[in-house]
Structure 1
Amino acid sequence: MSSIQKNEQLANFPSLKGKRVFITGGGTGIGAAIVEAFAQQGAHVAFVDIAREPSETLCRELAEAGYPKPAFRHCDLRDIPGFQKIIAELQAEVGDFDVLVNNAANDERHQLEDVTLEYWNDRIAINQRPSFFAVQSVLEGMKRRGGGSIINFSSISWHQSSGGFPVYTTAKASTLGLTRGLARDLGAHKIRVNTVTPGWVMTERQIKLWLDEEGKQAIARNQCLQGELLPWHLARMVLFLAADDSAMCTAQEFIVDAGWV
C-alpha cells in the first residue's frame, strides 16, 4: 500500500460511502493518500495522473486490500481538451461526481531571470489552469446530484514568501481567488468550494529532491508541532471537507502545516 494504512482510531465518515470522487494527480504523494483515504471510506474514486506505473499499482493494491478499485486514466493536464474528454469518460463510467479534488501540481524550482514565456505558460498549464476546467467539467453533474464539494489545493510557500519558484507561488496563490470566486455562484446549487493548503509535506518527491540537513533544521525550528507532516494528514482534512460534516464550510482556506511560524 502507499503511505498510510487503515487506522481504526481515525474518524469514519458515513456520508462518503458510495460518493463519487474525482482527483487530479492521484498516483503519488498527497494525491495517492487522498485516493486511498476515499477508497477506505467506501467511495467510488476516479483519478488522473501523468505517472502511469505507480497509479496502476495503487489501484491494484487497493483492490487486493478489499477496497473499491479506483478508475485511473493516464493524463497530461496541459492538454485541456484531452483532460475534459477523460473527465467525461469517467463520469460515464462512474457517474456524476459528488466531490472534486484539484490536487495535481509540480513545484519545480526556477529563478525569475530564467523564466521565458514558454516556461511561464507551461507552469501555469500544470499548476493553475486545470483546476478551473475540472470545475467546469464536473459542474453540471454536481447540479444533477443536488450539490457537491470542490477542494482546491494551494501551497504554504506563497504565505511564507518562499523564493526559488515564482511562477509556482503565483499559481498557488491564485487558488484562493478561484475558491472564493466560485463559492458564491456555486453555493446556490449547494456546491461548496474550499482550499486546502499544505505545509512542507514529506512525500517521496520532497525527500528525494529538496530535503537536506538545512531543511530538517528549518522544520524543527518553524513547526509548532514537531515531527513529519505526512500525506495522510492532508487526506484527512480532504475527507472532512468532502463529507457532510462540513456542510456549512465554503469559501475558506484550511491550512495543514503543523503550525509553521
Structure 2
Amino acid sequence: LVALADTEPMMEKLFQYRFTGNSDLAGHSFGNLFITAMTEVTGDIEQALKESSRVLAVKGRVFPATTAKVRLSATMDDGSVVDGESQIPLVHKRIKRVHIFPRQVEAVPSTLKAIREAEVIVLGPGSLYTSVIPNLLVEDIAREIRESSAIKIYICNVMTQPGETDDYTASMHVRALIEHGGNGIVDYVLVNNKPISQEMQEHYAREGQYPVLVDENAIADLGVKCFKADIIDDSKMIHHDSLKLAHQVMEIYHTLQRDN
C-alpha cells in the first residue's frame, strides 16, 4: 500500500516500523496493525484495502490473496512449530517450511484475474517467510502464477533478516520460493550489485544483518536467470530504491520482449 501511496517518506517509515520490547505488540508492524484495524472497521479485508487505498491516496490497485482469516506458522529444522507471523523470527531457528491454517482457502477472484492479465509478475522484496511466501500458500494464487505466461521476477533482499534468513544466499531465497510455490513460480531474480560500504556493513552487523551473497551458479542450477544491477538507496540506511527498481524491472521486460 505505502509503496503505491502518494504520501510523505515518514509515512513509509511508520508503516514499516516494527514494535520492540516485551509488550504484546513486540514484533508486529504498524502497517499490519493498521490493516487489521481497518478490517474490523469495514468488515472484511477486501473492503479494508479499498478504504486504505483511498485514505493513503494509492496510485494503483491492491488486492488481497484471500479474505479468509488465516494463521501463519513455521516448522523449524529441529521439528518445532512456531505460530504467528510476529513470533516466527523471534525464536532464531532455521525455518524449514511455513504453512497457513486452514491449509485450503479461496483466493479472491479479482486477484486471480489481475494475475491472469499481468505481463510482468514481481515477487518481493520483503520478509521472505512472513511476507512474500505466505501469498504463495494460497494454492490458487501459486497455480495462477505458475501457469502464467508473464515474466516472473523475484526481487531478492539485499540484507539477511535475523530469525528468518540468517546466512542465506540469493539462491537460498529462490529455492525457498520454489519449494513453497512450486516449479515455475519464478523465472528471473534481480539482485543488487552495488558494493555496500564497510561502515554500513558494520552498522548492520550489530543488528545481525549481513549482505546477501549472490551465488549465480547455484541460482542457474535452479533454472532461474540472474539479473544484477544497482537497485539500492544507501544514503542513510540500505533499502531498495523504488525508482531504480522500477527502471530495472522495465529494462528486463523490454530486453526479454526484444529477444523474443
TM-score by length of 2: 0.39
Question: Which of the pair is proportionally richer in helix?
Answer: 1
TM-score by length of 1: 0.39
Bigger relative CO (Cα 8 Å, ≥ 6 apart): 1
